[in-house]
Chains A and B, each alone.
Chain A
Amino acid sequence: MGLTDLLFLALSAVAIVSGWRVFATDSMVRASFLLLLSFVAVGLIIVMLAAPYIGVATVFMMAVEMMVMALFMVMFMMNPAGLNPMMMVHQHRFSIAAGVLAFAGLTAAILFTSFPENSVDPSTPVVHDLGIELLGPSMLIFETAGVTLLATMIGSVILSSRSGRFGLADQGSKPPGLEPDGEPAGRQPEQGGGGHHHHH
């Protein structure tokens, strides 16, 4: 067993154990940092698998993403600072069974499949090849991902902003009545428009 194998074993153990602890810790902020640890371990395994660009990009992206996630965790935290035990689960047995079944099924598929053996040559300039691929034959796919991210930005702003900074879109634009002083034609704006405030 060489150094590579030992390193791989250690990193996989970190990835799996911290991935499991995400759902076993009491503090949701700690959970997001454990998820970050799992992602970093996977990123390092990816670097070991001759894909340095993807591995390092995963680490960087997840470092930033988990910081954002930690902020959201604070916003939606159930259990401040993780001082009390927290176990907020439903259909627990079913979920454990589904997880174990997925693992067992995938493992069986892995063990009973004969994969073609065609390892990447260590002298291949993989990052260079990726760059040529991204800005060459697969440029349309790459740009589609970019447009998807733009749509995501617009969608998340629309979803998370308070709707109608200036009231509802049709506020103050009642159509004229069908007959003098009659009901306005067309769709009625909802009563008391300007957003719905529910305080419970």
Chain B
Amino acid sequence: MTLATVLIVAAALIGIGLYGALSQQSFVMLMMGLELMLNGGLLAVIGLWANTMGGAPEGQLLAIIIMAVMAVDMAIGFALVTAVYRKRQADVTESLTTMKH
């Protein structure tokens, strides 16, 4: 378990997440892609913290911020999905061609 292998696993997760976020039509599946990318980012941050920072606590703080970003992303994302569904009965990205009502 070297730093390079950890970072490559993180890069694979980011790549898969990017594929999902770009390719999925359903809003909720699209958000799973975003979550997977954040997952890879979290792993990369902790990998770098453990191998290059000598245990400085700021690295763990950054990981906590990433977890807060994950929570915000999920909450606001699902609220937006609910709002869009209520207004337009839309649950796939193709149904939204304009941002106005």
Contacts from A to B (Cβ < 8 Å): 4-5, 8, 12, 15-16, 19-20, 22-23, 28, 31-32, 35, 38-39, 42, 45-46, 48-51, 53-55, 57-58, 61, 65, 68-69, 72-73, 76, 78, 88-92, 94-96, 98-100, 102-103, 106-107, 110-111, 115-121, 124, 126, 129-130, 132-134, 138, 141-142, 145, 148-149, 152-153, 155-160, 162, 196, 198, 200
Contact B71 A38 (CB under 8 A): no
Provide the residues of chain A in CB contact with B12, threshold 8 Å.
Answer: 16, 19, 103
Question: What is the CB-to-nearest-CB distance from B52 to chain A, in angstroms, rounded to a whole number?
Answer: 5
Beyond A102-B11, A138-B61, whether A22 also contacts B67 by CB under 8 A is no
**Cβ 8 A contact of A134, one of B64, B91, B92:** B64
Contact B57 A196 (CB under 8 A): no
Contact A106 B68 (CB under 8 A): no
Contact count band on B: 35 or more
Contact A23 B61 (CB under 8 A): no
Provide the residues of chain B in CB contact with A121, threshold 8 Å.
Answer: 54-55
Beyond A120-B55, A156-B75, A160-B79, whether A94 also contacts B22 by CB under 8 A is yes
Beyond A19-B16, A72-B81, A115-B48, whether A53 also contacts B60 by CB under 8 A is yes
Contact B46 A49 (CB under 8 A): yes
**Cβ 8 A contact of B28, one of A5, A73, A94, A153:** A73
Contact B67 A61 (CB under 8 A): yes
Contact B52 A118 (CB under 8 A): yes
Provide the residues of chain B in CB contact with A107, threshold 8 Å.
Answer: 8, 11
Chain A minimum-CB-distance residue to B63:
A54
Q: DSSP class of A's interface residues: helix, strand, loop or mixed?
A: helix
Chain A minimum-CB-distance residue to B101:
A196
Question: Which of chain B's residues 1-44 have a Cβ closer than 8 Å to chain A?
Answer: 1, 3-20, 22-29, 32-33, 35-36, 39, 42-43
Q: List 26 A-B contacts (CB under 8 A).
A: A5-B1, A8-B1, A16-B13, A19-B17, A22-B16, A23-B20, A23-B29, A23-B32, A28-B26, A38-B13, A42-B13, A65-B70, A76-B81, A88-B26, A89-B23, A103-B12, A106-B10, A115-B48, A126-B60, A129-B55, A129-B57, A138-B57, A153-B75, A155-B75, A157-B79, A160-B82
**Cβ 8 A contact of B87, one of A4, A92, A196:** A196
**Cβ 8 A contact of A160, one of B1, B27, B83:** B83
Question: What is the CB-to-nearest-CB distance from A20 to chain B, in angstroms, rounded to a whole number?
Answer: 5
Chain A minimum-CB-distance residue to B45:
A54
Separation of A4 and B2 alpha carbons in the complex (Å): 11
Question: What is the CB-to-nearest-CB distance from A27 to chain B, in angstroms, rounded to a whole number?
Answer: 11
**Cβ 8 A contact of B32, one of A31, A88, A106, A115:** A31
Question: What is the CB-to-nearest-CB distance from A103 to chain B, in angstroms, rounded to a whole number?
Answer: 3
